[in-house]
Amino acid sequence: MKIIVAVKRVVDYNIKIRVKPDNTGVDLSHVKMSMNPFDEIAVEEAIRQKESGKVSEIVLVSIGQEEAQETLRTGLAMGADRALLVTTDQTLEPLSIAKVLKAIVHEEKPDMVFLGKQAIDDDNNQTGQMLAALLGWGQATFASHLNIENGYATVTREVDNGTQTLCLPFPMVMTADLRLNEPRYTSLPNIMKAKKKNIEQKTLADLGIDTKARLAILSVEEPKPRQSGIKVANVAELVSALKQKSCI
């Protein structure tokens, strides 16, 4: 069984981002970038399935600038077998990313595609669902548990009021939620080994996919700051303040 894992290079989750003064976007110059945390979880799950003998090959795919190679190296150091980078300087929308991934899937013919449930930069939560739609495959989103058995994937999903378990035939698409696993750290020897693993490169132009943006970003602004509050000395002061605001 073969798995493709789609990974995205995003601003590190610990960074407090700044909006550019001209409101055209977020300032990403000199900001630490990392693998999207949900994608790390997806990579980890693929590796665990391989370690349990249910998967034979893990291929990482990223779409973006040359620098996304670093992200792919991280995934290779975690234990993925090889990687593919589709280079472009364009910032692609989820619909376009899903179309590119579909083309890769047609070449690679995996049994499963894993993605993170959302990227922490655009917070869209769309790509996995869109890819499943374009391929005509079943989807298991927000996964917190995966069991592969008897030719089916049984996936527990995190939903609004608890969990839901689904059973899907292969091929299928799964998107990882936080609770799926705890991603491993990469060790120095594995980082060295990952340097020898292959990252194949393609350009977006090679694939001939229409990736014209459908949404125009008119502006990006700081959220309205909350008015600064006050420190209360004790419970009595807190209660009287809340009563005054008729909160309680």
One DSSP character per residue, 52-74 reads TTS-SEEEEEEEESTTHHHHHHH
Asked if 25 and 165 touch (Cβ cutoff 8 Å), the reply is: no
Nearest CB to another protein, comparing residues 188 and 216: 216
158 in contact with another protein (CB under 8 A): yes
Question: What x/- string results for residues 51 through 80 when contact with another protein is judged by CB under 8 A?
Answer: ------------------------------
Stretch that binds another protein, among 50-58, 187-195, 200-208, 228-236 (CB under 8 A): 228-236
89 in contact with another protein (CB under 8 A): no
Tokens of 181: 């696993």
Residues 6+ apart with CB under 8 A from 74: 34, 35, 40, 186
The single residue among 22, 89, 149, 222 that binds another protein, judged by CB under 8 A, is: 222
What is the length of the chain? 248
Asked if 211 and 100 touch (Cβ cutoff 8 Å), the reply is: yes
Stretch that binds another protein, among 75-83, 190-198, 199-207, 210-218 (CB under 8 A): 210-218
138 in contact with another protein (CB under 8 A): yes
Least CB distance to another protein at residue 36 (A): 12
Asked if 184 and 165 touch (Cβ cutoff 8 Å), the reply is: no
Amino acid letter, residue 60: L
Question: What x/- string results for residues 13 through 52 when contact with another protein is judged by CB under 8 A?
Answer: xx-xx-x------x--------------------------
